[in-house]
Amino acid sequence: MSPAERLPAPARELLKGDRRALARLISAVEDHDPAALPSLRALYRRTGHARVIGVTGPLGVGKSSLLNALLKRLREQGRRVGIVAVDPSSPFSGGSVLGDRIRIERPPGDDGVFVRSMASRGHTGGVAAATREVCRLLDAYGMDTILVETVGSGQVDVEIREVATTSVVVLVPHLGDEVQSLKAGLFEIADVFCVNKSDLPGAETAAKDLGELLGLGPASSGWRPAVVTTSTKDGTGVDSLWSAIEAHEAYLDRAGLRASQERERLGQEIVGMVAERVARDLRDGIDRDPELAQLLEEVVARRIDPQSAADRLYRDRARRR
């Protein structure tokens, strides 16, 4: 029996290029369906080839429009592209407060593109964990470039940093509101800044201000974020945006960071999974294990402080192993 034949059926179908198998496995990841686990495990060995590019920024700055523009160019270069739009599913007009959001469309009949949106809510292991698995499925399916759109809402974007090798932060002219976003952490995650809507007044000034702001940062020997201006209305700057992304990807290879960052990410992923299980065990234990329940009572009665209780719990568990 060849290794391919030992794969679970959904994984085998995905590797054969069956889009429906891919779509079903992605849904299973979203639903936390344990039935997908054997396929996910088996497919892991087939991953590690795709570049994952995160595109984030405040609502309505043109992230999806930019992804459409990038998608067109990437397809012209013959790349196979997966797109994941992580959506806040806000109660406003189906996700956008503006109501004029652009959809990312797969060109009809183009098998080299797969577009999927997923809700950012309701992922127990964190949205990064679910996104990571979806990216792996796309990677195993043979997509060499994966673009992930997230709305600049702080936590999710920082989490996406755990998945993407290059993060693009999209802004628009007149940095007023965006300065707040920068403070909220977008500044730290950007490898590339993109000032979109450059057909509107103020884009050059905004890019210049950003450049100066970046210049104020520590003159580290590593990567200084690139700043590009784009307009999806007339297509200006989209090539420069892709060049900046590629320059960062090349930098990762040149500096040996791709391998070391991947290693670090995988280490954190494993630790995170174990930590989650241990935490779940302990939480269950507080309800069911009389010893744990007793310890909690001691803390409630102010006879022991929480730190000492945690120390005792940690030591007891370590001893039992």
Which residues contribute to the site for ligand GTP (CB under 6 A)?
59-65, 96, 100-102, 151, 196-197, 199-200, 231-233
SS3 228: strand
Of 69 and 296, which has the nearer Cβ to Mg ion? 69
Residue 83 CB, shortest distance to Mg ion, in Å, is 11
Name the residue number minimizing CB distance to Mg ion: 64
Residue 170 CB, shortest distance to Mg ion, in Å, is 10
Confirm or reject binding of residue 230 to Mg ion (CB under 5 A): no
Taking alpha carbons only, the member of 160, 128, 139, 164 closest to residue 252 is: 164
Phi and psi torsions of 292, nearest 5°: -65, -40
Taking alpha carbons only, the member of 229, 225, 129 closest to residue 172 is: 229
Residue 47 CB, shortest distance to ligand GTP, in Å, is 27
What are the angstrom distances between the C-alpha of 52 and each of 132, 137, 231, 309? Answer: 10, 12, 23, 42
What are the angstrom distances between the C-alpha of 292 and each of 49, 126, 160, 279, 303? Answer: 46, 27, 36, 13, 15
Of 96 and 243, which has the nearer Cβ to ligand GTP? 96
Alpha-carbon Rg for the chain, nearest whole angstrom, is 22
Q: Within a 10 A sphere around the Cβ of 121, how many other Cβ atoms?
A: 11
- Reading the block at residue 63, the tokens are 């992230």
Of 56 and 64, which has the nearer Cβ to Mg ion? 64
Q: Interface with Mg ion by CB under 5 A: which range of 36-44, 63-71, 134-142, 200-208? A: 63-71
Of 64 and 166, which has the nearer Cβ to Mg ion? 64
- Reading the block at residue 144, the tokens are 């060499």
Residue 61 CB, shortest distance to ligand GTP, in Å, is 5
What are the angstrom distances between the C-alpha of 103 and each of 65, 163, 164, 219? Answer: 8, 23, 21, 39
Residue 67 CB, shortest distance to Mg ion, in Å, is 8
Confirm or reject binding of residue 65 to Mg ion (CB under 5 A): no
Of 96 and 261, which has the nearer Cβ to ligand GTP? 96
Of 28 and 66, which has the nearer Cβ to ligand GTP? 66
Residue 312 CB, shortest distance to Mg ion, in Å, is 49
Q: Interface with Mg ion by CB under 5 A: which range of 42-50, 60-68, 127-135, 276-284? A: 60-68
SS3 294: helix
Instruction: Indicate which of Mg ion, ligand GTP, none lies near residue 291 (CB less than 5 to 8 Å, by partner kind).
Output: none
Of 33 and 105, which has the nearer Cβ to Mg ion? 105
Cβ(69)–Cβ(232) below 8 Å: yes
Residue 163 CB, shortest distance to Mg ion, in Å, is 18
Confirm or reject binding of residue 64 to Mg ion (CB under 5 A): yes
In sequence order, what E strands does the chain have? 51-57, 81-87, 113-119, 145-151, 166-171, 192-195, 226-229
Instruction: Indicate which of ligand GTP, Mg ion, none lies near residue 274 (CB less than 5 to 8 Å, by partner kind).
Output: none
Residues that bind Mg ion (CB under 5 A): 63-64
